[in-house]
Amino acid sequence: MIERKYPQTRLRRTRMKDFLRDLVAENNLTTNDLIQPIFIAEQSEKKIEIPSMPSIYRHNLDSLYCEVEELSNAGIKTIAIFPAIDSTQKDDQGSQALNENNIVCLALRGLHERFPEVVKIADVALDPFTDHGHDGLVNNDGEIDNDATLVCLQNQALLLAQSGADIVAPSDMMDGRVQAIRSTLESNSFTNTIILSYAAKYASSFYGPFRDAVGSSTNLGKSTKKSYQMNFANIDEALHEVAMDIKEGADIVMVKPGTAYLDVVHAIKVNFQIPTFVYQVSGEYSMLQLSIEKGWLDKDVMLESLLCCKRAGADAILTYAAKEISSELNS
Ligand code: PBG
């Protein structure tokens, strides 16, 4: 840092006009940085608003295609889809995850046909499909069975790739999942399928509205995910997770939640220099969006929170605000 003295240096000089502020801006947010998560369900209504997520909807397939068309026109070319499965279809094995006609696979095939250029991300985890709401299989002692779950995740990831996912995103936090999924993809000739690993995923209360949206919160009840998702007190452990996932074959790593975990994003970027994404999760979105809609916070707070993710080192951001904010951004 160069030491300069007042009045030779007045840092306010470059803050005097919009144009000057833009010229010296160190970071920028464009539509290329944003990924829109979308909830889908088998339902007759086109779209149903999610009570705990203002302005966010669960879409049926027709409405999904309209939404993706609009997103694409707005410059958002990457989406992540999440299914809400009817409770009658859930079981303790999450067996619908492996049904090639489940709503995610139908959506991926439909999107692949209609929007081949759109980048489609699909989550690999069992929680939308299990009646206990966990991301993995539960054994007789009530524990999440890591190695038995890996087999399901391998099959699920392969099915998603076969259905048209460009990126599979394991969000389950089982040990060894990236390696297991990578070897299955390679041996089935899906050599170009990208693995976006939720490498540093914390056991967080910020996921509450998402669990309402996919209908897993009632299934989960009082049970927690602390035996597989990370303790939010830790950052060395996040670097350890990332190092392992890179060795196992991850192309992109992700930190989740986002805004409250930007120190983790920064440490990963500085240590590993690989594509690093951040997920501004449902609770983080809802807090801001609700305050905006109530008039308690200015709407610019959303842009601020996203640009801060870029400043911390994120290459891209999954955010429910992607579509809404796109009109304010450069493409
Ligand atoms: C499930 C999954 C979760 C989210 C993405 N994938 C929830 C969880 O782990 O319970 C959360 C996303 C959000 O809160 O926006 N594996």
Q: Cα–Cα distance between 183 and 188 in angstroms, integer?
A: 9
CA 251, chain centre distance (Å): 15
Distance from the CA of 201 to the center of ligand 1, in angstroms? 9
Distance from the CA of 206 to the center of ligand 1, in angstroms? 9
Q: Is residue 20 part of a domain?
A: no
Distance from the CA of 207 to the center of ligand 1, in angstroms? 6
Domain count of the chain?
1
Q: Is residue 243 part of a domain?
A: yes
Name the residue range of residue 210's domain. 28-330
For residue 257, whether the previous peptide bond is cis, meaning omega lies within 30 degrees of 0, is yes
Could you read off the pLDDT tens digit of each residue along the chain, which spans 331 residues? 778 899 999 999 999 999 999 999 999 999 999 999 999 999 999 999 999 999 999 999 999 999 999 999 999 999 999 999 999 999 999 999 999 999 999 999 999 999 999 999 999 999 999 999 999 999 999 999 999 999 999 999 999 999 999 999 999 999 999 999 999 999 999 999 999 999 999 999 999 999 999 888 888 989 999 999 999 999 999 999 999 999 999 999 999 999 999 999 999 999 999 999 999 999 999 999 999 999 999 999 999 999 999 999 999 999 999 999 999 996 6
- What are the Cα distances from residue 208, in Å, to 70, 212, 309? 27, 7, 21
Phi/psi for 201 (5° steps) reads -115, 120
Cβ of 21: how many Cβ atoms within 10 Å? 11
Q: Cα–Cα distance between 216 and 144 in angstroms, integer?
A: 16
CATH number at residue 212: 3.20.20.70
Looking at the CA of residue 206, tell me the nearest atom of ligand 1.
14
Q: Is residue 13 part of a domain?
A: no
Residue 331 · residue 77 · CB < 8 Å: no
Q: Of the candidates 112, 32, 84, 79, which has an alpha carbon nearest to the alpha carbon of residue 320? A: 79
Q: Scanning the structure block, which residue is given the tokens 């999904």?
A: 64
Q: Is residue 66 part of a domain?
A: yes
Q: Is residue 324 part of a domain?
A: yes
Q: Helix (H, G, I), strand (E, B), or coil: what is residue 49?
A: strand
For residue 7, whether the previous peptide bond is cis, meaning omega lies within 30 degrees of 0, is yes
Catalytic residues: 201, 256
Residue 213 · residue 56 · CB < 8 Å: yes
Which one of 40, 53, 254, 256 would you pick to mutate in the ligand 1 pocket, going by the greatest count of ligand atoms within 8 A of its CB? 256
Q: Is residue 233 part of a domain?
A: yes
Q: Is residue 160 part of a domain?
A: yes
List pocket residues of ligand 1, CB cut-off 6 Å.
Answer: 123, 125, 127, 135, 171-172, 207, 210-211, 225, 281-282
Q: Is residue 172 part of a domain?
A: yes
